[in-house]
């Protein structure tokens, strides 16, 4: 796997690889994406192989202009309203697909997921390629998403399917895009992200929120978004989410000592309260964007430390913190403890 910079010369190399049917990890404002020409089924197949991604989990197609949007799907009035307000940016829309989109990209669905990223490097690469790019997160399926080039290198360095990574620094949002479906009677949030429910409702007041955003889906239930049913974002170590005050979380950990090597992923300023454990501070609940930016890096750092158990402090799931909470629910296999209730 080649490591490319964001120089004009290296981005030319990146776009040549993509045009030739190779796959390349690229930075975006959400997380690093593993990109392929979305119109080339053989190239897209390499993404599924490289990630070990289940074939029934469709991909998001990334574009750099509205003309491409109209080539790939049938936009509704609501779609243009959202595009006007939030594109380029961390919002994905699900719309009826046009036949040009290969079946492998949409996992056989008759809808397609589309996003116009705002990251300057991602924009430049899409324009240079002149084709839309299918790009899921550039991690091994099930693992925490990559928000730094080092995360991609750690997951993909010996992967025969990945031709290169473009090293473009840390991702600004740190969590994947907000996903809104516009194919039903009402617009529906399928995945929370940096564009919040509150912001979306300013444009679409009748937006609903899929049950799976905050709950584990029963095995029998058909997911609105196939990706919601798969195991996600999970570190190797057992992970437990702790909601409540610092004091109650300290007491909970004290009362549940089990001899396992433990890391606490805590809020800024809490480190000294968890003095018995190794700590990784990941931001402040007053600034939930900081939690989003660092959550996957913190989960990966905890794993690298070789710990057996991870406690993660959770902020109340409002605004951007809803996206963080949604990822932590899945990272912990829905193991959430309200430490206040146990006092």
CA distance 129 to 125: 6
What is the Cα 205 distance to its own chain's centre? 25
Three-state secondary-structure class, residue 236: coil
Tell me which residue of 50, 53, 98 sits closest to 72, measured CA to CA. 98
Task: Draw the binding track, 54-73, toward ligand AMP (x: CB under 6 A; -: no contact).
Answer: ---xxxx-------------
Of 111 and 279, CB closest to ligand AMP: 111
Query: How far is residue 18's CA from residue 226's CA, in Å, rounded to a whole number?
Result: 26
Cα–Cα dist 197/1, whole Å: 38
Considering only 116-124, 132-140, 250-258, 264-272, which stretch makes contact with Mg ion by CB under 5 A?
A: 132-140
- CB nearer Mg ion, residue 137 or residue 196: 137
- The answer to whether 180 contacts ligand AMP (rule: CB under 6 A) is no
- 89 neighbors 118 (Cβ within 8 angstroms): yes
Q: By CB under 6 A, tell whether 106 contacts ligand AMP.
A: yes
Interface residue with ligand AMP, options 4, 72, 112, 243 (CB under 6 A): 112
Stretch that binds Mg ion, among 131-139, 245-253, 261-269, 320-328 (CB under 5 A): 131-139
Distance CA 12, CA 9 (A): 5
Measured between alpha carbons, how far is residue 263 from residues 146, 237, 250, 323, 336 in Å?
Answer: 20, 10, 13, 22, 16
Site size with Mg ion, rule: CB under 5 A: 1
Contact 331, 312 (CB under 8 A): yes
Residue 137 in contact with Mg ion, rule: CB under 5 A: yes
Please choose which of Mg ion, ligand AMP, none residue 192 contacts, taking the beta carbon within 5 to 8 angstroms, the exact cut-off set by kind.
none
**Closest-approach residue to ligand AMP (CB):** 227
Verify binding: residue 312, ligand AMP, rule CB under 6 A: no
Residues in touch with Mg ion (CB under 5 A): 137
Would you tell me which residues interact with ligand AMP (CB under 6 A)? Answer: 57-60, 94, 106, 109, 111-113, 136-137, 176, 179, 190-191, 225-228
């Amino acid at each position: 796997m080649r490591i490319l910079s964001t120089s004009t010369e290296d981005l030319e190399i990146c776009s040549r690889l993509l045009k030739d049917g190779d796959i390349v990890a690229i930075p975006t404002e959400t997380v690093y994406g593993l990109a392929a020409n979305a119109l080339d089924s053989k190239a897209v197949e390499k993404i599924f192989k490289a990630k070990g991604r289940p074939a029934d989990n469709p991909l998001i197609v990334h574009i750099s202009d509205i003309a491409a949007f109209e080539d790939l799907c049938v936009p509704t009035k609501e779609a243009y309203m959202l595009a006007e307000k939030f594109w380029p940016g961390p919002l994905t829309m699900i719309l009826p697909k046009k036949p040009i989109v290969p079946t492998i990209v949409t996992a056989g669905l008759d809808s397609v997921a589309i996003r116009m990223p705002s990251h300057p490097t991602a924009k430049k690469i899409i324009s240079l390629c002149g084709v839309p790019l299918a790009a899921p997160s550039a991690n091994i399926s099930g693992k925490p998403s990559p928000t730094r080039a080092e995360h991609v290198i750690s997951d993909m360095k010996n992967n025969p399917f990945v031709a290169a990574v473009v090293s473009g620094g840390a991702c600004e949002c740190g969590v994947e895009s907000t996903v809104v479906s516009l194919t039903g009677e009402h617009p529906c949030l399928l995945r929370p992200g940096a564009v919040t429910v509150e912001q979306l409702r300013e444009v679409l007041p009748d937006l609903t929120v899929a049950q799976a955003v905050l709950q584990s889906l029963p095995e029998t239930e058909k997911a609105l978004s196939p990706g919601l049913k798969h195991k996600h974002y999970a570190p190797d170590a057992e992970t437990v989410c702790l909601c409540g005050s610092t004091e109650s979380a300290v007491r909970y950990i004290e009362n549940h000592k089990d001899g396992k090597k433990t890391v606490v992923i805590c809020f800024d300023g809490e480190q000294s309260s968890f003095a018995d454990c190794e700590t990784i501070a990941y931001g402040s609940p007053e600034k939930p964007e900081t939690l989003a930016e660092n959550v996957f890096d913190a989960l990966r750092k905890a794993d690298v430390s070789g710990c057996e158990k991870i406690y993660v402090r959770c902020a109340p799931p409002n605004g951007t913190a809803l996206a963080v909470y949604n990822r932590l629910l899945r990272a912990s296999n829905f193991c959430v403890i309200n430490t206040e209730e146990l006092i």
